[in-house]
Structure 1
Amino acid sequence: MKKMIGLFVCLIFMGLQVVNAQSKQISGTVTSAEDGLGMPGVSVVIKGTTIGASTDIDGKYSLEASPEDVLMFSFVGMVTQEITVGQKTVIDVVLETESIGVDEVVVTALGITREKKALGYAAQEVGGDELNTIQQTDAVSALSGRVAGVQIASSGNMGGSSRILIRGANSITQENQPLFIVDGVPMDNSNYNAGGAASGGGGIDYGNMLNDINADEIEDISVLKGAAAALYGSRAANGVVLITTKSGSKGKKGFSIDFSQSMGFERVATIPEMQKKYGGGTIVADEDGGVNGFATVTVGGQTYLHPQYQVDESWGPRYNPNVNVVHWDGFNEDGSVKETRPWVAPANDVEDFWETGVTSTTSIGINKSGEDYGMRLAYKYTDVDGTMPNSSQEKHDFKVSTRADLTDKLSVNGSITYVRTKAKGRPEIGYGDNSVGQKFFQWGQRQLDYKRLKNYKTSTGEPITWNRKSFTDPHPKYADNPYWTAYENYSDDMRNRFYGNVSASYEIIENLLVKGSVYGDYYNFTIRERTAVGSQATPSYYEAAREYSEFNYEGIVSYSKKIDDFDLSGLVGVNRRDVRYDFLRGQTSGGLVVPGVYNLLNSVDPALMNDITTERQTNSVFAQFAVGYRNMLYLEATYRTDWSSTLPGFENKYSYPSISGSFVFSELLEDITWLNMGKLRLGWAEVGNDTDPYNVQKTYEYNGDGAFMNKPRLGVPDDLLNENLKSETTRSKEIGLDLNLFNNRIDLSATYFDNRTFDQIMPLQLSQATGYASRFINAGEMTNKGIEIALGVTPVRTKDFEWNVMFNYTKVNNKLEKLYNDLESLDIQRAPFGGVFLRASLGDTYGTLWGTDFLYDDAGNKVIGSNGYYESTSDLVPLGSVLPDFTLGIRNGFSYKNFDMNFLIDIRKGGKFYSLSHMWGMYSGMYKETAGVNDKGNEIRDAVADGGGIRLEGVTGDVVWNEDGTYTVSNTAANEKYVSAAGWGARHYHGFGYPSAQSVFNADYVKLREVTIGYNIPKSFLNGIFNSARISVYGKNLFTWGLDKKGFDPEMAANGSGNVQGLEGGLQPMFRSYGFNLKLNF
């Protein structure tokens, strides 16, 4: 913390300068060299500032500038021009068509900028303007569909987490997320899912730590893969995402203010289809005292009908408006009957529980620049009213950045950001006591009116729930009232984060530069969770505090020189990384002594405590050398050695080399006018992935389950540590082709890559006789081979209209090549209630779902047993990988005069996911399929003898099992047997011996991810108050097509940023959002 404050003080002193300027009005017309017509929408900016204007429909502009200012005229596809103002008051400009689109520079490893055509590896950037066409909640999900080779999965929860994979998953058990670097600062991106949320087992998704990045401040994002990331050594196995934020620009004098205001509204978009014909309970036979399927009770001499309150299923009576019953809320507080109401479908159904979420975002950026300095001060305030009742989030984001030339040889720069995030009522996900999604879509009673459920407690604070234990006992049996959950059993959390950098560079002699930098990232994060007295679960209070800090100290010496036809550059550097993590948690035990008091001292039994501290250090040296010949041949080599404290002392040193090259063959084909640029490239690299602290030497840990004779207990960990553990290694190769054709009308980048990760760090299960559960070893090998294509096309470009299309295609073939000795599979995670496992299996794709499957005959028909239900395999078999076959993002951009429109389509093909909600929802009669009409035209819930029931599609036959586990099916015939709807629904539960594959679905989708319509207000309407103004409207996640199971979106099974994916244990709805945005510059 003191270090971060020190950085802040340095930045303040670095930015103290005052500038005065004389200005005058400049006007003119910008025309195209192609047709001589005026060009609307051309950006006219004073170099080194954000002060500027845009040309109107006739190509005319005007702005104030000083004689020493340089005006920059730029437009997509045209050559940028720079003109010094001098004594002129009228400046007319003719823009030429840009001939080559790859002379641009891109940001590469260590923040080094290089010409794109010189790179021997794939490089793709996304500009901040493109990212922020809509209001983005986080920088990770904003990349969805925008970068080839990148796969994104987002949870959709308020402040929830997102997962990003670059060229597939490389590690079986270690981190597969890339390294994120913001302005040189390596950012921690931990995902703190409470409980078993990551496996669908219940808990709260508190989001990625990367949510602390202000998307409005992003200048651009570069995604580094393979050889491009090798300079980051043991942290680069999964690629690197480089984020450059807006900063003060040195140059001409100027002052400007950027302002934006956005409002977004969020509503439920996708939930499972629920049946609307039958209410809660099970049919009560008349001989058991029932009437019309209801239970009866006599109070005060009067007999009442009532549903089975204690049952959390919906196999009850069919709706009948002529039948009146005592509903769950038909009681007075003294327990007497208050009213009866008709037995009908609810007027306010489950989707009405979620409210309209509202997000308000206000941003302001102040820029000040001079000849030898630049400063930027930015602030953003985000206020969220969530879709879950009693949920909210508030975020403050402050940033100051500055850079200055103190002398002709010495320059300094730096930035610091402070983010404070406070949230309340984040929804629990997965299968848990406080997961309202699990209660809504797995168990429940369908006659519930959710407006009435808002009456969730009595005047004395006692809970009122639909799931009464009995007519005379109002306490919850299985489920709390969802509003009780929202307002009494909520969580809250707060995070304070500082991150920033300060650096100084000195030019010793011409082109020889030495640079020293300090990069820091620090946060503290507190969480509180409560379960109130009166809840179905045991009352409790949980509190956790985390503190994380990482500081990197780096020194670099670089040199560049042009000698005849050769361009030479190189650098050497050193880095030291210090990381500390502290975790303190406590939880009550046995309940709460005093209701409503949430404090660890209010525990009935001694509170359970845990305190963890970890530290790690990595020391590194690295070097890079690059040479170019006649702008045609390029070669780059890098080398890095890391010494990691988390590995054994005798084997903690690992080296990571890379080499890449490119051949710009278009330099030899200058006569081919339509070929603006053509390049072949080749890259090879070796990078690593080390382990967590304290996985090497034997240690003891405190047992948080209580003390013995008032003494804390120590114990050995469950895992036997390995003193010979070494780093995972990923060896990558790639070859690619880049083409730019027809004056930037077509731009193609295609890459084939081959990644092989060996010496995998994985747990090996041990015999219980050893006293340990497992031991970490180096074993196993996994490959990722695939192609990625980024294709940009401009089909139409005229004076007033332009249409641009960008395709980003990724296909990855993943395979687990080796494990350990005769080990054939490794369980990554078990779904709640077992039955389905997420496994890494030899010879198969990583992350494969295993469960029981249908039996099939030779023609592919499902086999049905003599009881009329599906037959099942006796053993677990692979049901499909959770990874997609390919992803495709298609972005279309249209501009007409001052109007523009953009939309992004996100496509995923292949992969599977398992839905626990579907299994239990079918079991409990909640879903539409359980109340349909059969092929006879009768209700399937009618008795089979009365023409009801359901006939499953498939064949009957004789099944013979062979000794090797295979089977044969003979004497097949079409199934003609009808079974009861309730029996069919119940047999979706795998525990009864039926296929768990019934709840495994394809993860395909086509999503209209974003739509934006914007208008740049003409300068003539701004009356000189503003330099520019823009208003836009947007929609996000508007439509989804191609779902295997209607109402079940595969992104509902996105469980945080970890390796556990494809297991849905208690879904939250998917939401669509709409909003508008206003941007001003003055």
Structure 2
Amino acid sequence: MRKIASLFTMLMLVTAFAFAQNRTITGTVTDEKGDALPGASVRIKGTRTGVAADNNGQFRIQAKTGDVLLVSGAGIDATEATVGSGNTIAISVKRSVVAGTEVVVTALGITRQKRELGYSTAKVSGAELTKAKSVNIANGLQGKVSGLNITSVNNGVFEDVKINLRGIRSLLGNNNPMLLLDGVPMGIGFLSSLNPNDIEDVNVLKGTSAAAIYGPDAVNGVIVVTTKKGKVSTPVITLGHSTQASTISFFPEFQQEFGSGGYGAYTPYENWSWGPAFDGSVVEIGHVLPDGSVQTVPYLPIRKEKQKFFNTGVTIQNDLSFSTKDFYLSVQDAIIKGIVPDDRNRRTGIRLSSSREFGKFKVTFNTNYIQSNYNIFDDVSMGNYNASQNVGLNNGLMNLIFNTPAHIPITSYKDFINNPFAEYNGYFNDYGHNPYFAIDNWRNFGKSEDLISNIELGLKATSWLSFTYRAAMNMSTNTGRSTTKGETPTAFGVGRGFASIPGAVGDFANRGSRLSSEAFATVNKKFGELKFSAVAGHYFRQTDQKNTSVSAGNLVVPELFNVSNRTGELGGGSSFSKTRLLSVYGSIGLGYKWANIEVTGRNDKTSLLAAANRSYFYPGVSASFVISDAIGAIKNSSVISYLKLRGSWNKTGNVTLGAYGLEATFSQASGFPYGSLPGFTANNSAPDPLLRPEFVKSWEAGMELSLFKNRVGIEATYFHQDNTDQIIPITVSAATGYTSSTVNAASFVNEGYEFDLKLTPLVQLGDVRINFRGNATYNTSRVDEVYQGLDQLFAGGFNTFAANYIVKGYPAFVFQATDYLRDDLGRVIVDKITGEPSQDPNTKIFGQTMPKWIVGLNPTVSWKNLTFSILGEYKGGHTAFHKIGDDMAWTGVSIATAVNHRERFVFPNSSYEDPLNPGKYIANTDVTLSNVNNFYTGVYRDVASNFLTSAAAWRLREASISYDLPKKVLGNGKLIKGVSLAVTGRNLYLWLPKSNVYSDPDFNFSTGNTSGVGTSQINPPTRTFGASAVFTF
């Protein structure tokens, strides 16, 4: 027994001795989400022994059982962990928000602390971006970044958007920011193709500072997208699903008093709604068919019948991802059914990211493939056919629906094949198509493919010197077919004036590619408290584009969509372009204690300009001063936690010409080839070999302030941009052989203020925490010069009616539109006999087209694992033009056309000329409009100011409720590590001024510079509700 006791004691002593010895402890440092924390400091408490975690959050340290490891670092709470008996340890720490320590991705994908930057940036996390489960990343940014204006182009299955940062830099050229994806520059068009669930975070570089490194594409700012990578050794699988339903959120206001006909008389086949008032009687609609049948309906308005034409849109997203410490793979499938019947799109994407270290070398590879298969209504082809037949308001599906009299049961015409009152010859309307027939007859379907790949080679030569090489390839292909089934009218249809719709087919293939090569060296060296950094690099890019189309306009065999199945000539054409950009760039930065300064420079050589001007240089400088570190009284203050002042100045160049913009180009002349005889016509614009780049000189000054231990964060920025040498067209004498020429001429100023507020938390009551984020932007501009002898220039829109104009002394852009003739008091001058106003022969300048104010408000309430968040956005100070209002006035369906129940009335705020004192005007109190029908279909429609309204709008952009299941419910994460459930909504409510009864002013008919113009080719806006679930294994 004594021997056993002795042996036991010896074993205990040996064990205790072993545990008291230092040994190698391997560990990982991660945050609450399991993400690795590279660079975190790991130190044995009470000693100077310590190491830093590597890029994967892993570390090795000599320690013994019982030692306490102290983990600290920028942006994390200090955390202690005790070494146990094992040789591995996992340490989870909590991220903290300490002002100025946030890490942002800047030029070349290099991460820097925000306190070092002399210019404004904003960071949106992947979680914030996907909170409302939008399939388009841009929609996830709306309302969350000051200085950022995102508007919708259409509400189809693609959700196209237009993006501007701090207004515009070019009057007629590109104003889109550049997209930087994992350090590789590319066009902003790729943004809508990316899977939002693959995004780690988005950094927005608002000003022109980034252009000195990134080149001309960055003159409008940069959206820096960093995708998710593998982080920890343990494999992580994430499975996500969301289903969303979209319904119409806003519809024009229609009059509900009068039906088919004109001048008060009922006409059963008329799309005019100028007939008699509804009385509930039974009336015929359309013509009597050859078999003697005729459709009859109650002569009463059918409430919301037009809205019922549209579907409930449905979007289903399924996501799957797998990651380890150096590998990430994701797959997404998004099925999108639009609100327009039969419109659909299916987007499938796969992304692979992998990296590997070999001592001082590191290789990183990323590739992303996205395919969309779509089938949509071809509004353009229908419009072209209608124009050839001189059909009035049928250029746009919305016109076919909106301009239908209120008593017509439009949704009963779905079966246009078997329903005699819905088919081509029997439809009630003599002047427009059955919309169900139209969306079936004209279709556009195809496949778009995007391939984005890059490889990066890195060499860490020393602790302070590294070299990087990147090669990237972006390829985009859109192939498809436009079809017209065609229709031949019967004798009955011919008698109604219906023409044949020839069957047609058009095949197209658009292919673009961008190849780039970039190499740069980076220096980061400390000399005591002096920090020195430098970058020197070289960049080359080649962009190719080839578009090919072929078409046949008269198909022999119906619905055999092959260009060989035709009579007549084969149509089509092709175009191609190639451009190159060669650049060298560099930057030098110095930091000492609380001060940082950086100088940048870049020289570009572009193939777009003539040899004499194709090389140009642009410099920049920025500085930041952390006052709270410099002044002891502030540093030790219990009120001010952080105070930084920053500023920057930059000169950047931008070439807004397209490929071969300086060359004399030719196109095929109309009517040719004539037999075997070819014919070409020259471009009517004279090329100018002396064109220079447009230049932007910009500066900004800002402040970053944190109060009360970082609970309150405030940022304020003023920016000013002088935009000169604008490339614009001018008219020249036809004697030169041309009608216009392109010159460097115009200049304008763009300036504004940005404000950001963070309250974290605003309120803390036990487990209830309320955070608040807000941002506000004020932006204005002024055109200083157009051209010698020229004070205004057309920029886009409806040229003789209502258009965007560049006008000296006014913001860029303003509406110039027709208005009523008015007296000196602003009263509308009417005819003393008829009471009808007159149109002013001169157009007038109205409000600016882009918002002066943008405000975003985002409160978040959390309680334990439950989080509720809403996002509101306001835009105001600008004007919108609603072309649909003009169309609706013609047919008499607009609410405005039922004023005073269509009885004679005195035109508001009007006057007429005093017959006894010519040139003097008398207030009109008794002369009434003698013919309301003629007025609204004539002068009223010709006066565009009737359809110009304030574009101000408040909207509830997002709302979400999410719940993370507790780990104990999931068996402490043995199989399922996490489950997150959410209910979401987007664009839930819209508040508009009473004057706007037409359309959502946030929609615009073009992705170009033209702003504030809504047409009948824009689908109605929608609100979206959805639910999602994310499982982590």
TM-score when normalising by structure 2:
0.86
Deviation digits for residues 905-925 of structure 1, max 9, x if unmatched? 110112112112111212211
> Matched residues in 2 for 1:80 and 1:383: separation?
45
Q: Which residue of 2 aligns with 1:361?
A: 317
Q: Which residue of 1 aligns with 2:849?
A: 882
Deviation at 1:214, TM superposition (A): 1.0
User: CA 1:840/1:258 → structure 2, altered by over 3 Å: closer, same or farther?
Assistant: same
Supply the RMSD in Å over aligned alpha carbons: 3.2
Q: Which residue of 2 aligns with 1:1010?
A: 958
**SS in structure 2 opposite 1:1019?**
coil
**SS in structure 2 opposite 1:227?**
coil
1:43 aligns with 2:43: no
**SS in structure 1 opposite 2:713?**
strand
Q: 2:407 aligns with which of 444, 447, 455?
A: 447
Report if the CA contact (8 A) 1:395-1:420 is conserved: yes
1:170 aligns with 2:169: yes
Q: Which residue of 1 aligns with 2:683?
A: 717
Q: Which residue of 1 aligns with 2:122?
A: 124
Report if the CA contact (8 A) 1:346-1:449 is conserved: yes
> Matched residues in 1 for 2:379 and 2:317: separation?
25
> Matched residues in 2 for 1:133 and 1:765: separation?
51
Deviation digits for residues 553-608 of structure 1, max 9, x if unmatched? 0001111111011111111000100100001123334x433332333334443133
> Matched residues in 2 for 1:272 and 1:718: separation?
41
Report if the CA contact (8 A) 1:816-1:844 is conserved: yes
Deviation at 1:83, TM superposition (A): 4.7
> Matched residues in 2 for 1:599 and 1:82: separation?
72
Q: Which amino acid is 2:683 matched to?
A: P
Report if the CA contact (8 A) 2:103-2:114 is conserved: yes
| Residues paired across the two proteins, number | 950
Q: Which amino acid is 2:223 matched to?
A: V
User: CA 1:1013/1:227 → structure 2, altered by over 3 Å: closer, same or farther?
Assistant: same
Deviation at 1:444, TM superposition (A): 2.9
Q: 2:836 aligns with which of 869, 890, 899?
A: 869
Deviation at 1:1040, TM superposition (A): 0.7
Report if the CA contact (8 A) 2:401-2:435 is conserved: no
Q: Which residue of 2 aligns with 1:7?
A: none
1:682 aligns with 2:639: no
Report if the CA contact (8 A) 1:274-1:926 is conserved: yes
1:323 aligns with 2:321: no
User: CA 1:701/1:731 → structure 2, altered by over 3 Å: closer, same or farther?
Assistant: same
> Matched residues in 2 for 1:717 and 1:914: separation?
32
Deviation at 1:526, TM superposition (A): 1.8
Q: Which amino acid is 1:904 matched to?
A: L
Q: Which amino acid is 1:443 matched to?
A: N
1:616 aligns with 2:616: no
Deviation at 1:955, TM superposition (A): 2.9
Q: Which residue of 1 aligns with 2:376?
A: 425
Deviation at 1:106, TM superposition (A): 0.6
Q: Which amino acid is 1:1063 matched to?
A: V
**SS in structure 1 opposite 2:136?**
coil
Q: Which amino acid is 2:764 matched to?
A: R
Deviation at 1:928, TM superposition (A): 2.5
Q: Which residue of 2 aligns with 1:727?
A: 693
Report if the CA contact (8 A) 2:379-2:442 is conserved: no
**SS in structure 1 opposite 2:673?**
strand
> Matched residues in 2 for 1:76 and 1:1038: separation?
39
> Matched residues in 1 for 2:35 and 2:894: separation?
62
User: CA 1:1079/1:707 → structure 2, altered by over 3 Å: closer, same or farther?
Assistant: same
Q: Which residue of 2 aligns with 1:6?
A: none
Q: Which residue of 2 aligns with 1:217?
A: 198
Deviation digits for residues 451-498 of structure 1, max 9, x if unmatched? 211122348999436755xxxxxxx74311111112221211210110
Q: Which amino acid is 2:313 matched to?
A: G
Q: Which amino acid is 2:984 matched to?
A: Y
Deviation at 1:770, TM superposition (A): 2.8
**SS in structure 2 opposite 1:320?**
coil
User: CA 1:245/1:969 → structure 2, altered by over 3 Å: closer, same or farther?
Assistant: farther
Deviation digits for residues 988-1018 of structure 1, max 9, x if unmatched? 5454xxx321111111100011111111111
Q: Which residue of 2 aligns with 1:983?
A: 934
Deviation at 1:383, TM superposition (A): 0.4
Deviation digits for residues 878-912 of structure 1, max 9, x if unmatched? 12221112111111111111111111111011211
> Matched residues in 2 for 1:87 and 1:709: separation?
92
1:268 aligns with 2:248: yes
Report if the CA contact (8 A) 1:227-1:683 is conserved: yes
Report if the CA contact (8 A) 2:890-2:941 is conserved: no
**SS in structure 2 opposite 1:153?**
strand
Q: Which residue of 1 aligns with 2:306?
A: 350
Deviation at 1:427, TM superposition (A): 6.5
Q: Which amino acid is 2:299 matched to?
A: W
Q: How does 1:124-163 map to 2 (within 5 A)?
A: 124-155=122-153, 156-163=155-162
Q: Which residue of 1 aligns with 2:598?
A: 636
Q: How does 1:584-599 map to 2 (within 5 A)?
A: 584-589=548-553, 591-599=554-562
Q: Which residue of 2 aligns with 1:764?
A: 730
Q: Which residue of 2 aligns with 1:101?
A: 99
Q: Which residue of 2 aligns with 1:511?
A: 464
Deviation digits for residues 244-265 of structure 1, max 9, x if unmatched? 111123xx52111111100000
Report if the CA contact (8 A) 2:952-2:992 is conserved: yes
User: CA 1:790/1:397 → structure 2, altered by over 3 Å: closer, same or farther?
Assistant: same
Structure 1, unmatched stretches of 5+, are: 1-25, 31-41, 50-64, 190-207, 285-292, 295-306, 469-475, 935-939, 942-947
Q: Which amino acid is 1:1068 matched to?
A: N
Q: How does 1:457-476 map to 2 (within 5 A)?
A: 457-458=417-418, 463-464=423-424
**SS in structure 1 opposite 2:354?**
strand
Tell me which moved more, 568-577 or 797-806: 797-806
**SS in structure 1 opposite 2:137?**
coil
Q: Which residue of 2 aligns with 1:472?
A: none
Q: 1:489 aligns with which of 419, 427, 442?
A: 442
Report if the CA contact (8 A) 2:829-2:913 is conserved: no
> Matched residues in 1 for 2:551 and 2:896: separation?
42
Report if the CA contact (8 A) 1:431-1:1065 is conserved: no
Deviation digits for residues 116-171 of structure 1, max 9, x if unmatched? 01100111111110010111121222211111111110133221310111111111
Q: Which amino acid is 1:783 matched to?
A: V
User: CA 1:818/1:623 → structure 2, altered by over 3 Å: closer, same or farther?
Assistant: same
**SS in structure 2 opposite 1:762?**
strand
Q: 1:777 aligns with which of 743, 748, 756?
A: 743
Q: How does 1:793-942 map to 2 (within 5 A)?
A: 793-794=759-760, 795-831=762-798, 834-857=800-823, 860-866=826-832, 867-932=834-899, 934=900, 940-941=901-902
Structure 2, unmatched stretches of 5+, are: 1-26, 39-56, 62-67, 387-393, 489-498
Deviation at 1:448, TM superposition (A): 1.6
User: CA 1:812/1:1058 → structure 2, altered by over 3 Å: closer, same or farther?
Assistant: same
User: CA 1:702/1:410 → structure 2, altered by over 3 Å: closer, same or farther?
Assistant: farther
Report if the CA contact (8 A) 1:643-1:653 is conserved: yes
Deviation at 1:658, TM superposition (A): 0.7
Q: Which residue of 1 aligns with 2:332?
A: 380
Deviation digits for residues 1008-1054 of structure 1, max 9, x if unmatched? 11111111111111123311111010111111113343443344641
Deviation at 1:978, TM superposition (A): 4.6
> Matched residues in 2 for 1:137 and 1:899: separation?
24
Report if the CA contact (8 A) 1:787-1:810 is conserved: yes
Report if the CA contact (8 A) 1:806-1:892 is conserved: yes
**SS in structure 1 opposite 2:398?**
helix
**SS in structure 2 opposite 1:846?**
coil
> Matched residues in 1 for 2:868 and 2:186: separation?
34
Q: How does 1:68-83 map to 2 (within 5 A)?
A: 79=77, 81=79, 83=81
**Percent of residue pairs identical:** 24
Deviation at 1:874, TM superposition (A): 1.8
Q: Which residue of 2 aligns with 1:1077?
A: 1028
> Matched residues in 1 for 2:706 and 2:378: separation?
48
> Matched residues in 2 for 1:376 and 1:541: separation?
43
Deviation digits for residues 377-433 of structure 1, max 9, x if unmatched? 0000000111111111101010000111122x0011121000000111157389775
User: CA 1:852/1:124 → structure 2, altered by over 3 Å: closer, same or farther?
Assistant: same
> Matched residues in 2 for 1:98 and 1:459: separation?
67
**SS in structure 2 opposite 1:739?**
strand
TM-score when normalising by structure 1:
0.83
Q: Which residue of 2 aligns with 1:954?
A: 909
Which is bigger in relative contact order (C-alpha 8 A, separation at least 6)? 1
Q: 1:607 aligns with which of 570, 574, 582?
A: 570
User: CA 1:253/1:95 → structure 2, altered by over 3 Å: closer, same or farther?
Assistant: closer
1:524 aligns with 2:513: no
